[in-house]
Amino acid sequence: MMLDPEPIILIITTVDSESDVEKITECFLEKRLAACIQVDPKIRSYYRWEGKIVSAEEYRMVIKTASSKWPAAKKLLSNIHPYDLPEITKIEAVICSKDYAAWVRREASGELE
């Protein structure tokens, strides 16, 4: 019986500045904890914070990596994220093309060249 290869995951977070996007992106790609990071330009988030309903413009980041990188990715994101309480959400890609998933696993090897 052949085991399925390691699944890939999407890690979702938001930040409020392009400089934070660049910082997080650079850290993840340099450490090979992500194969690809997509950024949605300026979304509007509405939420309750410290007893008030507020809204803010943010950048949504989708970090694509191998599921085995989740502990290291979560720790890095927690350490470098500028928010006091950042969104760090993990979503497993249930269906993904075989070749794309292989590329993500290869690029997010965690090993420096």
Number of domains composing the chain: 1
Supply the CATH number for residue 74's domain.
3.30.70.120
CA 101/CA 66 separation, integer angstroms: 8
Q: What is the pLDDT of residues 3-52, one digit of tens each?
A: 558 899 999 999 999 999 999 999 999 999 999 999 999 999 999 999 99
Residue 2 belongs to some domain of the structure: no
Tens-place pLDDT, residues 38-89:
999 999 999 999 999 999 999 999 999 999 999 999 999 999 999 999 999 9
